[in-house]
């Protein structure tokens, strides 16, 4: 079942991709006490994710912070090393990368998709964005399959 606005992010382990290597934390620690703009992509280095989705958040990071967002995070069903390399390649120092290598976060949120038709594996994250305020989903935008609009930084900014 897909997480809904007003529901708390399930407590579970997370891995933050950093330039120093994987940094373990939990959803409770990461999302607790702050307002986070979280967006998810089906895969690092994929065309729409690299050309549009991540760049929209890099470009609008200052605007999101001006609207009360404390942190901007991207998650994908990729390992921490891939997420850190993608972050470095995209020039996105303002974005925290959350590696969901086994798809556990996507599954816990009920936001998985089957990417096997694209050679990406059976468990991938759907494309979405959300505002998480002290661990509770305040806003949720899930894309229709093959679309990119609802989860953009521009759309999230309009909603804030």
Does residue 49 have an active-site annotation? yes
Catalytic residue among 3, 38, 49, 113: 49
Burial class, 6, CB count within 10 angstroms (exposed 0-12 / middle 13-18 / buried 19+): exposed
The whole-angstrom separation of Cα 127 and Cα 91 is 21
Contacts 24+ apart (CB under 8 A), 149-154: 151/39, 151/40, 151/53, 151/127, 152/52, 152/53, 152/56, 153/37, 153/39, 153/56, 153/57, 153/59, 153/60, 153/63, 153/64, 153/129, 154/56, 154/60
Dihedral angle at the C-alpha atoms of 121, 117, 113, 40, nearest 10 degrees?
70
- Which of the residues are catalytic? 49
């Amino acid at each position: 079942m897909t997480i809904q606005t007003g529901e708390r992010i399930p407590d579970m382990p997370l891995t933050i991709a950093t330039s120093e290597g994987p940094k373990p934390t939990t959803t409770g620690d990461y999302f607790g006490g702050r307002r986070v703009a979280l967006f998810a992509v089906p895969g690092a280095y994929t065309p729409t994710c690299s050309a549009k989705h991540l760049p929209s958040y890099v470009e609008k990071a200052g605007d999101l912070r001006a609207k009360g967002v404390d942190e901007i995070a991207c998650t994908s069903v990729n390992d921490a090393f891939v997420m850190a390399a993608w972050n470095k390649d995209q020039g996105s120092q303002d974005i925290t990368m959350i590696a969901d290598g086994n798809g556990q976060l996507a599954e816990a949120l009920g936001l998985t998709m089957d990417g096997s038709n694209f050679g990406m594996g059976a468990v991938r994250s759907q494309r979405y964005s959300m505002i998480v305020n002290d661990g509770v989903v305040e806003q949720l935008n899930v894309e229709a399959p093959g679309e990119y609009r609802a989860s953009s930084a521009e759309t999230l900014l309009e909603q804030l």
